[in-house]
Structures are given as structure tokens and as C-alpha cells.
Amino acid sequence: MHTRQSMLTTLGAALLAAGIMQAHAADPYYNPANAASSTSKTIGYDLYKTIGCPGKGILDVPCKEPLEAKAAPVAKPKDSDGDGVIDDKDLCPATVKDAKVDVTGCELDGDKDGVVDRLDKCPTTPAGRKVNASGCELDGDGDGVVDGLDKCPTTPAGRKVNADGCELDSDGDGVSDAADKCPGTPAGAKVNADGCELDSDGDGVVDRLDQCPNTPAGRKVNDKGCDLDSDGDGVIDAMDQCPNTPAGDRVDTKGCSLPKVMNLKGVNFDNDHATLRPDATAILDDAVATLKRYPALKVEIAGHADSASSDAHNLDLSQRRAKTVMDYFVGKGVEADRLSAKGYGEAEPIADNATADGRAKNRRVELRILN
């Protein structure tokens, strides 16, 4: 018993000398930093683990299991908005809770349109496009086509538009449907500001179908835009002085049936000569028009005289006058093989040669239809 007590006393003294007892008295949990004596002597942690707790079984002072050396506490960096980016590096320190942020602590904006992804209803806006508060492209005229694609950015409200943002023009005539009063215009037709086909002469037949595009104003026309010719004689109603000519009759320029013999009344010559007077040309030109209307017509130009001179003289004079008229017709484009000239002298009077009036009537030129 004495021997055991002596050994404990000796061991305790050694431990005190090493400073372990002092360390334990200060901190019952072992810390190597406390294992130093006033003489700066220390005992290693390995020794401590070997001999156990100084008071256990020696000084009967209870102690707990040793702890590893405690590191000095380090202050945690502050992250006020809890976005995972510390305040010192956070460029957006007030980010809303649970928002996704980039390395600068600012909310993500995937399409770089200035509206963060959390609020962006159009997250794939093409670069450079202007957007509204929802992150969607602007549509200034509200036609459903964004300004970036809208070729007609000022379309009036409510108008239907195509993919380019321009008003629909269903018939492709250049006038939008909203303004088009003739929406079914055929392709290629020329139209006015109302989208209706042009009718240049105002006859009610559009130019595309008008075979007589220069009809005078006020004239009645057929479905081809040409003046009406009710009796079908080739002379329009507006000019026809004989509007009910029997079908098949040849007519003159006035629309009247041609007689077998036409007296060219008013065709005068210089006295006792075969030279036409200027006032004769209008009547002759009308006869030319009739001859050209009927290209198969063959006529004889008959010259007549009064009885004032000898038969021979009158016959020669009437022949020369008939030839003068024939030459006039040929000069105006009537084929010569359709014409013949013959002088009858004074042989076929139509009035009394005893009077001046009668003689004037007998001096005449006639057209006689031969076929």
C-alpha cells in the first residue's frame, strides 16, 4: 500500500512538472496549448494519449475524452439577399428570393433584351429588338406583327394584315381590301383608287373588255363597249338617220338603204369644164366612205348634161366630168377595178331643160350600183 502511494506521488510530481496538471486544472478538456508550465515545458499530445487523463486513476479528478485542437472561428461573408453571391461582389444586392442570378448577383436575362428571365414572357427575343415590359417585341400599330418585321408600321387599327404587317390585298390589284370596292378584280387588270377596273370612256364597260375604248360621252353601248347599232346596218344609232333599215340592206353613211342610183347632188363643176368646185369634195368623200364599207360593190359613175350645147359637146363634157369623179375616188383609195365612168350627155334629163332650174338639175353625176 505504501509502495503504491509512493509511486503515485512520484508520478504526480512528474506530471505537475510537465504542466499537465496545471493545464487540466485550467481546462478539463485537453488542449495541447494548455500543456505548458511556467517554465515553458510541454508534454506532447501523444504522451497524453498514452498516459490518459491526468486525474483518472491518479488524482481521482474526473475528466472527459480529449478534443482535437479547436481552430479559431472564421467570420462568414455576408449575403444579404441570399442569392449565393456575397455582398462585396453582388452588383444587385436586393435580388428577390429564389431568383436565378449570374456571377455578379444580378438576375439572368437570357436574350439580353433588358427584361430578366423571371419576368420575360418572350425569353428568346432576337438581339437588338425593342421590347415592352413583358420582354416581348413592340408592335406599335397593334396589327399582330412586331415592329422588327413590320413593313407597314402604321397600319390603321382593326385592319387585317399579311405576314409583313401590310394590309391584305386579296385580289392583288394594289388596293387594300379595306379600301377595295371591287375585291374580285381579275389579275393584271388596271384599277382606280377604289380598286375597280378602269373605264376610261365612262361607258360602263371596263377597259379590259372595251373594244371601243373612246366612245363619246353619253352614248349607249353594247356589252363590248361599242355604240349600239340596233338595226345592225353598220351605222351606230347615234348617227343612224334610218334606224329601222331592213336586215341585209346596203346603207349609206347615214344608215339609209342605198338606192340603185345615187344622185351626187351638190357635186358642181366650173362652167363648161370638168374641174370640180371646192364645195363638191364633202359629198364625194361621203360616197367614198360608202364604197369602202362595201368592198365588193361595183358602181358606174354616170355624167349628165343639159341641152344648152350640141349633143356631141354635151356627151364629151359629161364623159370628162364622170372621169374626174372616178379619178377622185381612186385617189381616195377606192379600187379602180370597181369603178367605171360613162358620159350620157343630154340623153337622160330628169327635169325640163326649158328652165334654168331644170337645166341645173339635169347637170348631174350619179352612182349606179352594178351588183
pLDDT tens digits along 307-360? 999 999 999 999 999 999 999 999 999 999 999 999 999 999 999 999 999 998
- Nearest CA among 147, 183, 153, 154 for reference residue 168: 183
Taking the alpha carbons of 289, 290, 294, 299 in that order, is the dihedral positive or negative? negative
User: Which stretches of the chain drop beneath a pLDDT of 50?
Assistant: 8, 15-17, 20-21, 23-24, 26-27, 29-30, 35-42, 56-59
The domains located in the chain, with CATH, are 2-59 (no CATH), 87-147 (no CATH), 202-247 (no CATH), 261-369 (3.30.1330.60)
Q: Which amino acid is at 247?
A: A
Q: pLDDT value at position 29?
A: 47
d(CA 17, CA 14): 5
Q: pLDDT value at position 287?
A: 94
Q: What is the biggest distance separating any 2 CA atoms in the chain, rounded to whole angstroms?
A: 207
Do 251 and 258 touch, CB atoms closer than 8 A? yes
Q: pLDDT value at position 369?
A: 92
Q: pLDDT value at position 87?
A: 85
**Considering the entire predicted model, what is its pTM?**
0.41
Q: pLDDT value at position 188?
A: 87
Q: pLDDT value at position 40?
A: 45
d(CA 222, CA 205): 9
What length does the chain have?
371
Do 287 and 326 touch, CB atoms closer than 8 A? no
Q: Which amino acid is at 18?
A: A
C-alpha 5: how far from chain center? 117
